[in-house]
Structure 1
Amino acid sequence: MLNNKVSKAVRLAIAFSAASTAAFSASSVAADENEVEKVERIEVTGSRIKRTDLEGASPVEVITTAQFEEQGRISVADALRSVTSNSFGSFVPSSGSSAQSQSTVSLLGAGSDRTLVLVDGKRVAGSPSLGGSAANLSSIPMAAVERIEILKDGASAIYGSDAIAGVINIILKKDFEGASFDVQFGRPSNEGADTKQMSVSFGVSSEKGNITFVYDHQEQGAIFDKDREYTAASWEDTNGDGLVSIYDETVGVSYYGATILGPDGFVASAKCDELASSVPGFVGVLDQGSLLGGVGGGEVCGYAYANVSANMASTNKDSIMVSSNYNITDDIELYARAMLSRNDSFGRYAPPAAKWNNMAAGNEHNPYDEEVTGYFRWYGIGNRDGLVTDYQQDYMIGLKGIAGDSIDWEFAYHKAKLDYRSVGRYYLSYSGLAYNEKYGIDLGSEEGINNLRSTTYTENQNEMDHYFFGVGFALGELAGGEIQHYFGGEYFDQQFDSQYDAQSEAGLIGGSAGNSAMGERDTTAFFYEISMPFTDNLIVSAALRRDDYSDFGSVTNPSVKLEYRPTDDILLRASYSEGFRAPSLDELLAATSFSATSATDYVACEAQGISASECKSRQFDNLIQSNDELGPEESEYINAGIVYSGIENFAVKLDYFSLEVENVISSITVQSLINAEVGGQLDDLMAKYPGVKLERDENGAVLGDVITRSENGAYMSRKGLDLNLEYKLETGFGDFTFGNTTTYLLESAGDVYFSGPSQDFIGMPGTPDWRSQFNINYSMDNLSVAWTTDLISSVYEDQYLDLGDGNPENFRYKGENHDPTYVTHNINIKYYTESFGTFTLGARNLFDKGVVKDDDGFWNDDTLYYAGHIGREVFAGYSISF
């Protein structure tokens, strides 16, 4: 707790560091030995042992909120979405599910449940809407954030489960003095997604402590499908055969309109043309095409759901953070934090699409003299609205202090309670349908429609109690200095509860899916870390952690790290770590739920003489099971790199990483079952994993529901390079700062089908091999200008399963056509005044880069390109501090 020159330099390094923090690390700051006797140590993500150097054996990217603001990012989720190591696989608020309010991060594209998110070094409770595993970034107030540290290394030996692909540590404001006010408004060039942001901060300090208060409000409007030409409903005979094929040649159109599945296959209702002329949304008779599979020919009655549906959900969030610290004595500090948030989200979908089972022979839609199944759009009920409200409470209280000359200790209690509620209006009640049919009530009458309407309700809760203790101390000495140790322990108690309304659980609601799940687990962990300075320029550290879970057993993970400085300007580093991901309570205990799952039916296409490259995806009725016998995933992470800062105002970092994950917890998906079936492996797969099922009738059509479940056994790997460059140029007409961060994936491997052969998917749709970000900042007097360019490499537009020589071990996905490299620009101009605050004007996606479309003009719906979906967004802001 000394306040000397070097400790100030370390603090400034954290406050203002960009990607190349080596240029400003404590090791590069000269200190007068006569004035400095001791150097303040700081804790950097990836180690609990405090250190004087910001750069260590594991690469850590430190980004301040000031830098995110320069890039025009207004939320934690938006900020992390632009980070290059967040390669692909993030989730953005999307209309259509109870998770529509959620935002996640996926380092290296390994999955949000393999990226650990911390707040002030403590684990964030998982979102109950995401099964209690992945963290919802939407719950964290941006105005309360001081900086974000991104650890690009495995860290289960330090933090436990989920730290497989890396760690996001969000550091909140502390010791804030004064008051500040900030407001910003944004308006895209395209309709929808308007943003509003306002925050207020207060801080009071005394000799004994500080209290900081932050209020943050954020809004973002919805985007409706009809407001984008590439998502608006359309249907066109693109191949010139005189027919419009459902899904093959349509956008935003479903065969759930008035379609009948009878003894001859699919046919359109006799009333389809009448509905098309009198009921908005119906588009008339369309060709079945190859999509529905198994039954040759056939027609369907289409419904244009995109005329009313929202694509991106709206969000409206209010957050409060209060933190305080109090020095009980010179050596003991009491600290506390409370973080409360509420996020309301709205999504809209077309009227419920649901089967009409056992449609009577005399029904006006049924052309047969027997009962049939109808694929029906229940338009009389009205459009469905999804209203999601997320409540989050997060509390922390603890004591920390120093004892003697070299002992740091800490005790903390952390409580989090997440209560996410979802209401769905205007769904189909099968009970009401049966009542109408039994008593002959007209389905189109006011009474009949009221009987058909149902409201769904879901409560998702996750509650976590977390106890932590740790002690760091020096014991022993080597040529390079004292040996540092850290020993600690944690105890977690987690209670997960997801409850659906009784009618949904009973399967009596049409147009909705899901089922209840609940469970409880506790985890006890002990960990030890050591840092050994063998010489002045060689440090070797190691860590070991053991986690004992109440449900599936114990896991022990080690790590070894090395940092070597041959000169003051060069750091060589390497690390090896083992990691794990515990199965979530949702994966272990959830009741069987229904999903309409998209997959490509290569079996049906082959039977119809359609090549794999021309085979289109379709939706399957899918029952998804949990598995209470799941074990943990196991991973190995290797990192090796160099940091160079020998040129004035210039720094470069280059790191190689290799992540391999075995026993991956993965659903044996509908696509996996089809791929295994193509290779003649389906029977063996279903025999090995009882309960999994895919069956066909004599015509080749899939019978009933496909049953899938989660199992251990899949494989994943990520290998690549991280490059960071930073240069500062001082001139007589202002200062320029240039920065670049690039993540280049050399391999992104996974299974072709579950437990089958693996392949490298780099360059396939949604899997770019590199992402890069360039920053140019200019400042002079009261003016600063920040220019950010985000780049995503080109990928294949389409992929299909290549059967090769017919041997399933040689099955591989192949890509066709290329989407170009995707480039967007952002500009942020700030003007500072001494008495009247700071004025901001800028634009996100300055040149209005559009979304990526395929050769047929259809949108490749991918969150990588959501900047184009929103369009150019001009924003203006104002802030003032007192």
Structure 2
Amino acid sequence: MVAKQVIAGVVAAVLSGCVWPETALAQHAREQAPAAQEYALDIPRLPIIEALKEFTTQTGLLISFWPDAQTDQARLVGPLRGKFTAEIALTRLLAESGLTYRRTNERSLVVMAPSLLGAPRNGVSGSDQDRSRLAEGQPYLRKQQRPPEESLTVIGRAGSNAIIGKPEVERVDEVIVIGSRIDRNGEGPAPVQVFTRRMIDDLGAASIPDVLRYVPQQPFTRAQHYYTNGAEYSQMRGVGGDTTLILINGRRVVPTTNSLALNAFDLNSIPLAAVERIEVLSDSASAIYGADAMGGVINLMLKKDIPQPVLDVQYGGANGGADLLRASFSAGYRTERLRSSVIFDYYQRDFLLGAERELWRNQDYTRYGGLDFRSPAGVPGTVSSLDGDNLPGLSSSFAMVPVGSSGIGLTPQDFVATAGLRNRTGTLSTLSIVPKAERRSVAVFGEFDLAQDLMAFAEVLYTNRRVISQEGFYPVQGALVPADNPFNPFQQPVRVDFILDGLEPGRFEHDMDWIRGAFGLRGGLNSRWQWEVAAIASTEADDALSTVDLSAARLDAALAERDPARALNPFVDGPAGSGELLASLIAPERSRHVSRGRQLSAFVQGELFELPTGAVQAVVGGEWRDEEMVYDDRTLPVNNGRDVRAAFTELRAPLIGPTASGRGDVLAMTLAARVDDYSDFGSTLNPQFGLLWRPAEGVLLRGSYGTSFRPPSIFELHAPRTTVTNAAVRDPARNNGLSTVTFVAGGNPDLRPIEADSMTTGFVITPSAAPGLRLLANYWRIHTEHRVTFLHFTSLLANEEAFHDRILRDTPTQADIDAGMPGRLLQLDISRMNFGRLSTSGIDVEAKYELSTRWGDFTPSVSATWIDEFTSVEAPGVPAVDRVGIANPAGSIPRWRVVGSLGWKRPGLGLSTTVDWLPGYMDADSAGLTGRRLPSRTVVDVQASFAMDELIGTNLLWDDLTLQLGVKNVFDELAPFSEIGFSTGFDSSQGDLIGRFSYLRLSKGF
């Protein structure tokens, strides 16, 4: 886009030391500049760099800041309030700083010290050749003139968001981090989508998963009720929540304790208030980051530079619940050598229960053409005979307990009126559509300059959170009530289906504490090489409580009890016993899970050597890390964890030198390779290759190819072995006769890694004829082998020869031998195994335009993903299944996913709208396609923001006060009925039942 082009030109001007007088070139730049345009500015007294950042935000102009070694960058300037031209504004803003500025073209200026590279104030420096290169926007740098201690700060605009980057300096994490460890300000061989802080605020997001719902490369996200732990994960390319690597400030995290079984990271662990930007790499990157990066990488950059204290409060809710309160306080402190910040965040969300939505109030889905999923249990219950004969004195084998029954002194005659009636009840009315959550977080960051080229840094994140997912009532189906139960009116054993009325709904509760610290040093070896060493330690504990299960033994004992004071009475329309008796039937389960990780990393980065076409850049480094899991108070594995040692390298070589304008190399190649050595798997090598080609000005063609892997997680390998006995299974080898077997599940130490290869190729167009326009398209493909999965026992039995080691049979009897049948089934091992493959491919497209007019700044954009293929082999002997456009319980893959937005801003006021569109697709159930086509879905969000001091005027109350009002899902679009949801009635991967959500946000600076 034009921002990158102009920045490149300004960088060139600064680096070459060219500050020219009123020559023909400067006169042309001045004539092209909107010198007469005035801007409404309100810049408080701030450090120079922060004041210039505010200037870019409020004017849309581009600034490069190049101080000399004596410039005090912490010096305060301002305030500046009123309407000014850009030139007058900068003159007044810099009046006391000793700095000067020059306009280099219509959208950019450079601020510098008069002494920079010997340049006199408003003077001339550099040759005519230098000026020619600068006029073309081509960078020019005479390295021998650049003092090592100097640094360039490029201040520009991305969308409507001020950004600061430092190319070619020690702050590696100030540029786009993911995709490469080699510093870059432009495009890499793989596409990266960036959500800046302003974009996040404009979306009205309250959590990181809220932001990622607008990433079309994520074909589905699960509704919040789906996981009972309240966790939410990324599903890049739909290949699994355990194949998207999550980074914090460019460094990997370990799986969260509530997600050990999935080997995934719960994105709700991190407060959104602490996040400065989110970077999304929609390409595999195991060659750079190691395991878990098959589907992509998400990097969460935390806030580091906070110029003034800010209090931020957001409140919102949906119809019937899901009330949300989020409050944060951020502050920073800096001196000449120290930069630090701290963020306190509090997050609270209340239940939204199923009774608030019509779909879950009544699970009789026959009204939609589906099945009746209401439970046969109810209040009052239903009594049935054991053998199917009529109950004594009745004309039916079943009868409903009379409404209003006390359950005492009943006779069969009391059931005559209800004979043949069954009371069915929906159990989702008490289920939480949105779980209850509370989180307290603190994030601290600091940098300290120990010497000229040596800096220490530290970051600490602490989170305490509690999540409660509410389940349904306690239904009891087919309970045997002995004849001598004191309340049994039939004087013979009967079965009763009933709900234990009087008990609070069951819950899953998780109490989690997480602390993560990263510490390190970074510096420069010389003007060409930088280095960094870092250490990370992370520990999280989860105390979990489940109250959803009844004790079968206690229930049977209470029904068989002869003492009326201690017996359960299922023949009452109401509680079947005292509160103490009912509570004694619950079998609470407590468990403790712990996830620990440590990591050491070091790398050097710089220019390896010079080619005629330019410098070859390189990164060389290594990592060591170990991971440990404690699952249900059991350390996994017994050898106390997994050690991983890695060595990695990256190269970037210009094959054909800079373009005529100097906005990058005409042709460049990137190479990356990584060797990981696992203590329990041995070594694996993964390479990655990329090309960038600029055949014409404003046109970039790029592509990359690499291999990926994911070793089985510690849980998948060493999860405790569990058994379930007395399960009835039909045995196809014995004429589908029923056999009582024992199922074995748990970890499998013989698993092998998942392997994958991926490629992406595409183009980026930023035409100079349309400044601010950016067009992008990418074709991508991912192919995985040896996926770790569960195989249904029916597939085992249908392919017994291939899985004979997982099937245990008794010795065949003589009768079995005579009939040509094997012995009866004894045991089936359904633990995880390597099986199946998955291939997916498609095209991503994106168009963005930044347009500044006298009516304000407009930022229309649209991004979309078209999926050509998503095929998987799920069972042996079964052909690959194409899941595109067909509902699937593992997650539905739509043919298209489109996200569009339109923003408008002018001083004091901003409006934005976002549209998320999903096409219709075919519904399915366990038997296959149902013939029903689910309708398309369009979700529209709107938001308005008001800078109160700009609208009303400055005073103590309105200064730095921003008000935001927004509505997500304006038209209250709820997920339609779908049989793929079975008892829940909707596709939880492509919709939810929250509906319209309104919110108010206040942000006050001090």
For 2:642, give the aligned amino acid: R
Q: Which residue of 1 aligns with 2:587?
A: 454
CA distance in 2 between partners of 1:8 and 1:278 (Å): 90
Instruction: Assess if the C-alpha contact under 8 Å between 2:178 and 2:279 holds in 1.
Output: no
> How does 1:37-76 map onto structure 2 within 5 Å?
40-41=167-168, 43-76=175-208
Question: Measured at CA, do residues 159 and 595 of structure 1 come closer, stay the same or move farther in structure 2, by a change above 3 Å?
Answer: farther
Deviation at residue 541 of structure 1 after TM alignment: 1.2
Instruction: Assess if the C-alpha contact under 8 Å between 2:377 and 2:477 holds in 1.
Output: no
**1:659 aligns with one of 752, 775, 782:** 782
Question: Measured at CA, do residues 265 and 272 of structure 1 come closer, stay the same or move farther in structure 2, by a change above 3 Å?
Answer: closer
Deviation at residue 118 of structure 1 after TM alignment: 0.4
**Deviation per residue, 1:710-743 (Å, 9 max, x gap):** 1112111110011110112222212211101111
Instruction: Assess if the C-alpha contact under 8 Å between 2:12 and 2:137 holds in 1.
Output: no
Question: Measured at CA, do residues 392 and 601 of structure 1 come closer, stay the same or move farther in structure 2, by a change above 3 Å?
Answer: farther
Q: Which residue of 2 aligns with 1:769?
A: 895
Instruction: Assess if the C-alpha contact under 8 Å between 1:112 and 1:134 holds in 2.
Output: yes
Instruction: Assess if the C-alpha contact under 8 Å between 1:46 and 1:155 holds in 2.
Output: no
Q: Which residue of 1 aligns with 2:833?
A: 711
Q: Which residue of 2 aligns with 1:862?
A: 987
Deviation at residue 374 of structure 1 after TM alignment: 7.8
Q: Which residue of 2 aligns with 1:248?
A: 371
Q: Which residue of 2 aligns with 1:485?
A: 618
Deviation at residue 174 of structure 1 after TM alignment: 1.1
Question: Measured at CA, do residues 494 and 264 of structure 1 come closer, stay the same or move farther in structure 2, by a change above 3 Å?
Answer: farther
Question: Measured at CA, do residues 184 and 236 of structure 1 come closer, stay the same or move farther in structure 2, by a change above 3 Å?
Answer: closer
SS at match of 1:74: coil
SS at match of 1:328: strand
Q: Which residue of 2 aligns with 1:30?
A: 137
Q: Which residue of 2 aligns with 1:615?
A: none
Q: Which residue of 2 aligns with 1:421?
A: 543
For 1:862, give the aligned amino acid: D
CA distance in 1 between partners of 2:374 and 2:545 (Å): 28
For 2:921, give the aligned amino acid: V
**Deviation per residue, 1:89-108 (Å, 9 max, x gap):** x34542773xx221111101
- 5+ residue gaps, structure 1, are 17-23, 241-246, 281-297, 502-514, 608-619, 694-701, 802-812
CA distance in 1 between partners of 2:438 and 2:986 (Å): 24
TM-score by length of 1: 0.81
Question: Measured at CA, do residues 8 and 252 of structure 1 come closer, stay the same or move farther in structure 2, by a change above 3 Å?
Answer: farther
CA distance in 2 between partners of 1:266 and 1:385 (Å): 39
CA distance in 2 between partners of 1:839 and 1:53 (Å): 33
TM-score by length of 2: 0.71
Instruction: Assess if the C-alpha contact under 8 Å between 2:176 and 2:184 holds in 1.
Output: no
Deviation at residue 359 of structure 1 after TM alignment: 6.7
CA distance in 2 between partners of 1:818 and 1:305 (Å): 27
CA distance in 2 between partners of 1:822 and 1:483 (Å): 49
Instruction: Assess if the C-alpha contact under 8 Å between 1:253 and 1:302 holds in 2.
Output: yes
CA distance in 1 between partners of 2:423 and 2:357 (Å): 24
Q: Does 1:138 align with 2:268?
A: yes
Deviation at residue 215 of structure 1 after TM alignment: 1.1
Deviation at residue 594 of structure 1 after TM alignment: 7.8
For 2:804, give the aligned amino acid: A
Question: Measured at CA, do residues 447 and 474 of structure 1 come closer, stay the same or move farther in structure 2, by a change above 3 Å?
Answer: closer
Instruction: Assess if the C-alpha contact under 8 Å between 1:93 and 1:314 holds in 2.
Output: no
> How does 1:464-863 map onto structure 2 within 5 Å?
464-499=597-632, 520-536=641-657, 537-593=666-722, 624-646=745-767, 647-668=770-791, 670=792, 673-674=793-794, 681-687=798-804, 689-690=806-807, 708-754=830-876, 756-765=878-887, 766-799=892-925, 801=927, 814=929, 816-834=931-949, 835=954, 836=958, 837-854=961-978, 860-863=985-988
CA distance in 2 between partners of 1:121 and 1:523 (Å): 18
**Deviation per residue, 1:394-416 (Å, 9 max, x gap):** 11111111111211111111011
* Higher RCO (CA < 8 A, seq sep 6+): 1
Deviation at residue 32 of structure 1 after TM alignment: 6.7
**2:996 aligns with one of 872, 877, 880:** 872
Question: Measured at CA, do residues 855 and 134 of structure 1 come closer, stay the same or move farther in structure 2, by a change above 3 Å?
Answer: closer
Question: Measured at CA, do residues 329 and 50 of structure 1 come closer, stay the same or move farther in structure 2, by a change above 3 Å?
Answer: same
Instruction: Assess if the C-alpha contact under 8 Å between 1:314 and 1:347 holds in 2.
Output: yes
SS at match of 1:66: helix
Deviation at residue 543 of structure 1 after TM alignment: 1.1
SS at match of 1:78: helix
CA distance in 1 between partners of 2:804 and 2:524 (Å): 60
CA distance in 1 between partners of 2:722 and 2:714 (Å): 15
Instruction: Assess if the C-alpha contact under 8 Å between 2:946 and 2:963 holds in 1.
Output: yes
Instruction: Assess if the C-alpha contact under 8 Å between 2:377 and 2:499 holds in 1.
Output: no
For 1:472, give the aligned amino acid: Q
CA distance in 1 between partners of 2:293 and 2:341 (Å): 30
**Deviation per residue, 1:48-107 (Å, 9 max, x gap):** 44334321111111111211221221111111122111111x34542773xx22111110
Deviation at residue 787 of structure 1 after TM alignment: 0.9
Deviation at residue 546 of structure 1 after TM alignment: 1.3
Question: Measured at CA, do residues 832 and 431 of structure 1 come closer, stay the same or move farther in structure 2, by a change above 3 Å?
Answer: same
> How does 1:139-158 map onto structure 2 within 5 Å?
139-158=269-288
Instruction: Assess if the C-alpha contact under 8 Å between 2:182 and 2:618 holds in 1.
Output: no
Deviation at residue 479 of structure 1 after TM alignment: 2.8
CA distance in 1 between partners of 2:512 and 2:786 (Å): 33
CA distance in 2 between partners of 1:735 and 1:862 (Å): 39
Deviation at residue 34 of structure 1 after TM alignment: 7.7
Question: Measured at CA, do residues 401 and 601 of structure 1 come closer, stay the same or move farther in structure 2, by a change above 3 Å?
Answer: farther
For 2:624, give the aligned amino acid: Y
Question: Measured at CA, do residues 265 and 164 of structure 1 come closer, stay the same or move farther in structure 2, by a change above 3 Å?
Answer: farther
**1:343 aligns with one of 458, 461, 465:** 465
Instruction: Assess if the C-alpha contact under 8 Å between 2:599 and 2:626 holds in 1.
Output: yes
Deviation at residue 675 of structure 1 after TM alignment: 6.1
Question: Measured at CA, do residues 174 and 676 of structure 1 come closer, stay the same or move farther in structure 2, by a change above 3 Å?
Answer: same
Q: Which residue of 2 aligns with 1:284?
A: none
**1:83 aligns with one of 205, 208, 215:** 215
CA distance in 2 between partners of 1:718 and 1:478 (Å): 39
CA distance in 2 between partners of 1:65 and 1:704 (Å): 59
Q: Which residue of 2 aligns with 1:392?
A: 514
Deviation at residue 352 of structure 1 after TM alignment: 3.5
For 2:592, give the aligned amino acid: E
Q: Which residue of 1 aligns with 2:662?
A: none
Question: Measured at CA, do residues 350 and 330 of structure 1 come closer, stay the same or move farther in structure 2, by a change above 3 Å?
Answer: same
**1:274 aligns with one of 386, 392, 401:** 401
SS at match of 1:305: coil
CA distance in 2 between partners of 1:799 and 1:29 (Å): 62
**2:11 aligns with one of 6, 12, 15:** 6
Of all paired residues, the percent bearing the same amino acid is: 24
Q: CA RMSD in A?
A: 4.4
For 2:655, give the aligned amino acid: F
Question: Measured at CA, do residues 799 and 208 of structure 1 come closer, stay the same or move farther in structure 2, by a change above 3 Å?
Answer: same
Instruction: Assess if the C-alpha contact under 8 Å between 1:692 and 1:709 holds in 2.
Output: no
Question: Measured at CA, do residues 25 and 333 of structure 1 come closer, stay the same or move farther in structure 2, by a change above 3 Å?
Answer: farther
Question: Measured at CA, do residues 763 and 399 of structure 1 come closer, stay the same or move farther in structure 2, by a change above 3 Å?
Answer: same
For 1:481, give the aligned amino acid: G
Deviation at residue 601 of structure 1 after TM alignment: 11
Q: Which residue of 1 aligns with 2:90?
A: none
CA distance in 2 between partners of 1:193 and 1:363 (Å): 44
For 1:818, give the aligned amino acid: R
Question: Measured at CA, do residues 564 and 676 of structure 1 come closer, stay the same or move farther in structure 2, by a change above 3 Å?
Answer: same
CA distance in 1 between partners of 2:607 and 2:491 (Å): 87
**1:195 aligns with one of 318, 324, 328:** 324
Instruction: Assess if the C-alpha contact under 8 Å between 1:220 and 1:315 holds in 2.
Output: yes
Question: Measured at CA, do residues 753 and 152 of structure 1 come closer, stay the same or move farther in structure 2, by a change above 3 Å?
Answer: same
CA distance in 1 between partners of 2:8 and 2:308 (Å): 21
CA distance in 2 between partners of 1:211 and 1:448 (Å): 57
SS at match of 1:588: helix
